[in-house]
Amino acid sequence: MVQISKELAAELIEVADALADAARLATLQHFRAAGLSADNKETDRFDPVTVADHLSEQMMREILVLRRPNDGILGEEFGTTAGTSGLTWVLDPIDGTRSFLAGTPTWGVLIAVSDENGPIYGLIDQPYIGERFAGGLGRADLRGPMGLRQLKTRAPRPLSEAILFTTFPEVGTPEDGAAFNRVKAQARLTRYGTDCYAYGLIAAGQIDLVIEAGLLAYDVQGPIAVIEAAGGIVTDWQGNPCPMGGHILAAANREIHAQALAFLNA
């Protein structure tokens, strides 16, 4: 395990902010631009990638080559680069490319730095809104148009009072959807389509649960770090750690996590 000194922690935080700043520049120059097009990465569904996705990750990788050349990199668009330090940067250059294409502002940039056990620090950055959720290495805060505030998840409450989010109404396979709907039937309010922003809302104490399926490491490692630093919990649908993605249950606290987990597996 990598020993994280105070000096190393400060350096990692500084580099993560530099990556997020670069990704903001790369993405905002294309957001809501006339004529923005996308290629489809899959054949059976629309999974878009744009020039902004590529530019965002490219700029982040260039910074890492200069500032953290011995670290590994796992990025959505350009794959894996091996490292020797024991640390890996996990990058999602645009989480929510469909939202990006549609002109809605809740897409984001996800950044995490991880050791062999999972993320130790993460950012959920919202370039257009100007909000940056940070968690890990002694931090849990949100910086944005309203200044600096500390992140803290909601206190326990009955599932019947919960606010639940997911990105896609289908939530994976029909069996996955049936499991999600068992939780949805108990919750007070369910909302869709905010991509990574929903995870920031858990950390900020605004909502209680996010349930999703089919995620990959770069979709979850930044949110895991932020939510856990704010007092929440993120596991798979069996309650196990999930740094590589899969079926995700993110919760504001262990009590409501346990309630949702019971219905997912009923």
- Please give the average per-residue pLDDT across 141-161, as a whole number: 98
Looking at the fold, whether 133 and 185 belong to one and the same domain comes out as no
Using pLDDT thresholds of 50, 70 and 90, give the confidence band for residue 167: very high
Looking at the fold, whether 178 and 137 belong to one and the same domain comes out as no
Last residue of a domain, one of 104, 128, 150: 150
- Please give the average per-residue pLDDT across 148-159, as a whole number: 98
Residue 223 lies in a domain: yes
Looking at the fold, whether 131 and 195 belong to one and the same domain comes out as no
Residues 17-38: tens digit of each pLDDT:
999 999 999 999 999 998 888 8
Tell me phi and psi for residue 99, to 5 degrees.
-65, -40
Looking at the fold, whether 79 and 175 belong to one and the same domain comes out as no
Looking at the fold, whether 90 and 207 belong to one and the same domain comes out as no
Q: Encoding tokens for residue 256?
A: 């409501």
Looking at the fold, whether 57 and 94 belong to one and the same domain comes out as yes
Neighbours of 65 (CB within 10 A): 12
Neighbours of 105 (CB within 10 A): 17
Give the per-residue pLDDT at 42.
Answer: 66
Distance CA 218, CA 238 (A): 20
Looking at the fold, whether 23 and 92 belong to one and the same domain comes out as yes
Give the per-residue pLDDT at 43.
Answer: 62
Q: Evaluate if residue 173 carries a pLDDT over 80.
A: yes
Looking at the fold, whether 134 and 212 belong to one and the same domain comes out as no
Looking at the fold, whether 29 and 117 belong to one and the same domain comes out as yes
- Please give the average per-residue pLDDT across 131-135, as a whole number: 98
Last residue of a domain, one of 118, 150, 182: 150
Residues 218-256: tens digit of each pLDDT:
999 999 999 999 999 999 999 999 999 999 999 999 999
Q: Residue 191 contacts by C-beta under 8 Å, 6 or more apart in sequence?
A: 163, 164, 165, 198
Last residue of a domain, one of 150, 167, 202: 150
Total domains in the chain come to: 2
Give the per-residue pLDDT at 48.
Answer: 86
Q: Evaluate if residue 126 carries a pLDDT over 80.
A: yes
Looking at the fold, whether 79 and 167 belong to one and the same domain comes out as no
Residue 1 lies in a domain: no
Query: In sequence order, what are the beta bridge partners of 123?
Result: 111, 134
Q: Evaluate if residue 44 carries a pLDDT over 80.
A: no
Domain that holds residue 117: 6-150
Distance CA 7, CA 88 (A): 18
Residues 182-216: tens digit of each pLDDT:
999 999 999 999 999 999 999 999 999 999 999 99
Read off the CATH number of the domain in which 15 is found: 3.30.540.10
Distance CA 30, CA 158 (A): 43
Read off the CATH number of the domain in which 209 is found: 3.40.190.80
Q: Encoding tokens for residue 66?
A: 């200069």
Distance CA 75, CA 261 (A): 30
SS (H, E, C) 191-250: EECCCCHHHHHHHCCCCCEEEEEEEEHHHHHHHHHHHHHCCCEEECCCCCCCCCEEEEEE
Residue 212 lies in a domain: yes
* Cβ atoms of residues 64 and 70 within 8 Å: no
Residues 87-125: tens digit of each pLDDT:
999 999 999 999 999 999 999 999 999 999 999 999 999
Q: Encoding tokens for residue 198?
A: 């929903």
Looking at the fold, whether 28 and 101 belong to one and the same domain comes out as yes
Q: Evaluate if residue 46 carries a pLDDT over 90.
A: no
